[in-house]
Amino acid sequence: MSGLGKIQRDFREFILGHGYEDFMQHIKSTDLPKEESLDVYHHNIFSVHHRSLVNDYPLVFSIIDDTTARRMVRAYVEVSLPCTGSLEDWGGGFISFIQRYELASQWPYLTEMAQFEWAKHIAYCAKEKPLLNPEDMRKLVDSSQKEISFHFQPSCQLMAFLHPLEQIIQTHQNEPKKPLSDLKGTSYALILKHQGHINVYWVSASLFVFINRLKEGQDIEVAFAAAQVLEPEFDAQEAFSFLLQHPILCREGDETCV
């Protein structure tokens, strides 16, 4: 191993929490305490990664206390250093980490909160395509094609949660002292990007199922039947209005918005 390679590997081991003495041996003794010098790099590395995760998961980090946050970031960095040059690619693995991390279990909804926030990040990074307008929709429905294909914005994601995330978020923001673990129930979100902004729509279970079936490429009748199982009075017209009122559907093709 080259001298440079050994120094760099010894530094990495020091950052990961072992090999402190090995790396110390490389440092020239001067008036500067070696520990203080190493602290600068240690602090920089963990701060950068902490900021990246806070950027991706602002709600998660606003819910957990600072000590847990620092421990979680440190533990996550130690097991999962980034392997690309862009931190934008790195944070997705944090979700399964939270699921396994014992200290996070005091917030049972935390994993789903992280899934929700990462979905918003994915939407932020996705393309935007020209919207399907009512005229386009009319042509689509009136066409002689037996099967109608709906094209969803690339950023569009549908998510089902075992916890009432919308209620948890609102309570956390408006009544920060209220225990969030007492809140029960499921929730359903449609997340997408429009004109550079991330929009979140909290929908009913039946609307979620209806839209999800269309998104999966199933035809209108199948989607309607599935929604009716959850809500016998499900109104398909209202559901289509929802799809048209919001920037969810796009035209077929590769064109993207500038």
Partner 1 sequence: MSFTGLSPRQASAGVGLRRPHYTDFLNEKQPIAWLEVHAENFLNFDTPAFKILERLRQDYPVSFHAVNLSLGSSDGIDEEHVKRVKALIERINPFFVSDHLSWGRIDGYYLNDLLPIPYTHEALTLFASNLSRIQDLLERPLLIENPSSYLQFQVSEMSEAEFLGALVHRAGAGVLLDINNIYVSCSNHGWDAQQYLKAIPAGKVKEMHLSGHVLQGKLRIDDHGSQVCPEVWDLYQKAINIFGPVPTLIEWDSNVPSLTTLLDEASKAQTILDSVRVPSNTTRKERHVRFG
Nearest to 163 by CA among 102, 245, 108, 204: 108
Q: Which is nearer to partner 1, 84 or 144 (CB)?
A: 84
Rounded CA gap, 196 and 126, in Å? Answer: 10
> Which member of 20, 97, 101, 124 binds partner 1 (CB under 8 A)?
124
The least distance separating partner 1 from the CB of residue 58, rounded to whole angstroms, comes to 14
Question: Quick one: angle between helices 165-174 and 110-125, nearest 10?
Answer: 100
125 binds partner 1 (CB under 8 A): yes
54 binds partner 1 (CB under 8 A): no
From its phi and psi, is residue 185 left (phi > 0), alpha (psi between -120 and 50) or beta? left
The least distance separating partner 1 from the CB of residue 191, rounded to whole angstroms, comes to 15
Backbone dihedral angles phi then psi of residue 193, each to the nearest 5 degrees: -110, 135
112 binds partner 1 (CB under 8 A): no
Q: How far is CA 211 from CA 62, 86, 128, 176, in A?
A: 31, 33, 19, 33
149 binds partner 1 (CB under 8 A): no
185 binds partner 1 (CB under 8 A): no
The least distance separating partner 1 from the CB of residue 74, rounded to whole angstroms, comes to 14
Rounded CA gap, 8 and 228, in Å? Answer: 61
* Binding residues vs partner 1 (CB under 8 A): 2-5, 7-9, 11-12, 15, 25-28, 30-34, 36-38, 40-41, 44-45, 48-49, 52, 81-88, 124-128, 193, 196-197, 256, 258
